[in-house]
Amino acid sequence: MNDTSEFHSKNALKSVSEICALQDTKQIQNAKRRDFVKNSGKFALASVALGAMASVSPLLANSGTNLSLAKNSSTNSNSNLTKNSGANGANSNSVASKNTTHSNKGAKMLYTTLNNGVKMPILGYGTYQIPNSEAQRCVEDALSVGYRLIDTAQAYANEQAIGEALKSAMKGGIKRDELFIETKLWISHTNEKDAFKAFETSLKKLGLDYIDLYVIHQPYNDTYGAWRAMSKLYKEGKIRAIGVSNFYADKITDFCAFNDIKPAVNQIELHPFFQKVGEQKINNDLSITVQSWASFAEGQNGIFKNELLSQIGKKYGKTPAQVILRWLIERNVIVIPKTTSIERMRENFAVFDFALSADDKAKIATLDTNKTLFIDHRDPERIKWLANYKA
Ligand SMILES: NC(=O)c1ccc[n+]([C@@H]2O[C@H](COP(=O)([O-])OP(=O)(O)OC[C@H]3O[C@@H](n4cnc5c(N)ncnc54)[C@H](OP(=O)(O)O)[C@@H]3O)[C@@H](O)[C@H]2O)c1
């Protein structure tokens, strides 16, 4: 994880009394919400809302977007895939060459097809910097809004609370195969022996018997050994797809050249100020789907008030946040915005009812600075710092 220290330093800015007051209010809110979850069957409703498979969204079909990336099913193949694939899975013989939408009551979800035929929601919910004490409430809220892809990591230290939220959601009517759970293996466990143990620990904390997408979090330590372990778990049907994160173009090319099973996903920093068009092409040419972390640059550079994004949004009655998510989705980039506010969860979810024009996209292209706002994964000092962080 890149920014643990930033998270801790942010919280360090709050006084102890502020934190206690916050926690008290949150505990009351959480208790109320828990009762609501138990009594209202809100997950059952959300489950129905996303249950029916519709045809390819006409909006997306008309947007000129290339949404048929995962035609190549020859990689990441899993003989046991159908066992765990459920409603959203598919074996490689039935790979759809287009994305599909699930819709009802105005709620829609677009699925992208990974290189092994597994269908993955293109929009999910990110949980970095959400402490264990808050993560259950946040994930329950996200599921009630309609999110089904939840992104977490061993290093986020919130898998346990997310597991509680998943348990409560499944009790409330959401089926396991509607969910798409992604978690990541931290550097200190990135080797063949420790990867098995770390995987089992994550599985247990999440309260699951398989993971939808398991990812090497950082491109360090024995990534090849860890990949052998992950490949074995994948072939055993304990993971539906395996992927990587923060692998730059050279590393991902090398990794694909010397592994039989290719990563299905590469999760990388990607936002309007760091657009990575060339890097996405390199991944896509290797049949890897790109997933964006920090789609909002974590709010840096005044992104939520950016004039250009506001102007574009105004035409469609959308906010800069919605324009950003829509822009990434139209590039077939999977997005996982993080927010602790249910209102903003709803806002970030409402991105399937408009399409950007070529002119909008040309304007957004001008925001690219081609520079990271967070971390250069080739910087020796940052590598040393990350290598010392134990999860
Ligand atoms: N693989 C990696 O190395 C890596 C690194 C970083 C992140 N990630 C993953 O990617 C996910 C997303 O990245 P991120 O969490 O770093 O940052 P992000 O999604 O770019 O930004 C999150 C920030 O935006 C605010 N926000 C969210 N929606 C908003 C809206 N509609 N309007 C105004 N503000 C809004 C949130 O504040 P509030 O919470 O107050 O709403 C939060 O401060 C993470 O949660 C994690 O799952 C992976």
Q: What is the three-class DSSP state of 40?
A: helix
Average pLDDT over residues 289-316: 98
Q: Is 340 in the pocket of ligand 1 (CB under 6 A)?
A: yes
For tokens 């778990």, the residue is 233
CA-nearest residue, atom 10 of ligand 1:
293
User: In this structure, is residue 281 part of a structural domain?
Assistant: yes
Q: The domain spanning residue 347 has which CATH number?
A: 3.20.20.100
156 part of the active site? yes
In which band, very low, low, confident or very high, does the pLDDT at 108 lie, cut at 50, 70 and 90? confident
The strand order across the sheet containing 107-113 reads 100-104, 107-113, 119-121
User: In this structure, is residue 132 part of a structural domain?
Assistant: yes
**Contact between residue 252 and residue 286 where contact means Cβ atoms under 8 Å apart:** yes
Q: Is 299 in the pocket of ligand 1 (CB under 6 A)?
A: yes
Q: What is the pTM of this model?
A: 0.82
User: In this structure, is residue 4 part of a structural domain?
Assistant: no
CA-nearest residue, atom 22 of ligand 1:
298
Alpha carbons within 13 angstroms on the beta-carbon side of residue 177 total 13
Q: Is 301 in the pocket of ligand 1 (CB under 6 A)?
A: no
CA-nearest residue, atom 7 of ligand 1:
293
Q: What is the three-class DSSP state of 242?
A: strand
Task: Give pLDDT tens digits for 64-93.
Answer: 333 332 223 334 543 322 223 333 332 222
55 or 224, which is more confident: 224
Q: Is 267 in the pocket of ligand 1 (CB under 6 A)?
A: yes
Ranges of H-type helices in 91-179: 132-145, 159-171
**Contact between residue 193 and residue 221 where contact means Cβ atoms under 8 Å apart:** no
Gap from CA of 340 to ligand 1 centroid (Å): 9
Q: Exactly one of 156, 210, 214, 234 is catalytic; which is it? A: 156
The residue whose CB lies within 8 Å of the most ligand 1 atoms, and thus the one to mutate among 3, 7, 14, 128, is: 128
User: In this structure, is residue 7 part of a structural domain?
Assistant: no
Q: Is 335 in the pocket of ligand 1 (CB under 6 A)?
A: no
Q: Are strands 107-113 and 119-121 parallel, antiparallel or unpaired?
A: antiparallel
Confidence at residue 180, expressed as pLDDT on a 0 to 100 scale? 98
| Domain count along the chain | 1
Cα 70 to its chain centre, rounded Å, is 17
CA-nearest residue, atom 33 of ligand 1:
304
Q: Could you say which DSSP state residue 123 is in? A: B
- Closest atom of ligand 1 to 321 CA is 31
In which band, very low, low, confident or very high, does the pLDDT at 106 lie, cut at 50, 70 and 90? very low
Q: Is 304 in the pocket of ligand 1 (CB under 6 A)?
A: yes
Ranges of H-type helices in the chain: 4-12, 16-40, 42-49, 58-62, 81-85, 132-145, 159-171, 192-206, 223-235, 249-257, 277-285, 307-316, 320-330, 342-349, 358-365, 380-388
User: In this structure, is residue 34 part of a structural domain?
Assistant: no
Phi-psi region of 246 (alpha: psi -120 to 50; beta: other; left: phi over 0): left
Looking at the predicted structure, is the pLDDT value of residue 160 above 50? Answer: yes
Q: What is the three-class DSSP state of 245?
A: strand
Q: Could you say which DSSP state residue 68 is in? A: -
User: In this structure, is residue 45 part of a structural domain?
Assistant: no
What is the dihedral angle through the alpha carbons of 30, 32, 38, 42, rounded to the nearest 10 degrees?
A: -90
Q: Is the dihedral of CA 339, 342, 348, 352 positive or negative?
A: positive
User: In this structure, is residue 239 part of a structural domain?
Assistant: yes
Gap from CA of 296 to ligand 1 centroid (Å): 6
Looking at the predicted structure, is the pLDDT value of residue 322 above 50? Answer: yes
Task: Give pLDDT tens digits for 131-157.
Answer: 999 999 999 999 999 999 999 999 999
Confidence at residue 164, expressed as pLDDT on a 0 to 100 scale? 98
- State what percent of residues in the chain have pLDDT above 90: 72
Of 114, 117, 115, 112, give the one whose Cα is nearest residue 75: 115
Of 169, 142, 49, 110, give the one whose Cα is nearest residue 344: 142
In which band, very low, low, confident or very high, does the pLDDT at 107 lie, cut at 50, 70 and 90? low
- Look up the domain containing 357 and give its range: 111-388
In which band, very low, low, confident or very high, does the pLDDT at 17 lie, cut at 50, 70 and 90? very low
Q: Is 153 in the pocket of ligand 1 (CB under 6 A)?
A: no
Looking at the predicted structure, is the pLDDT value of residue 189 above 90? Answer: yes
Q: Are strands 149-151 and 239-245 parallel, antiparallel or unpaired?
A: unpaired
**Contact between residue 70 and residue 105 where contact means Cβ atoms under 8 Å apart:** no
Confidence at residue 42, expressed as pLDDT on a 0 to 100 scale? 53
Average pLDDT over residues 309-333: 98
User: In this structure, is residue 126 part of a structural domain?
Assistant: yes
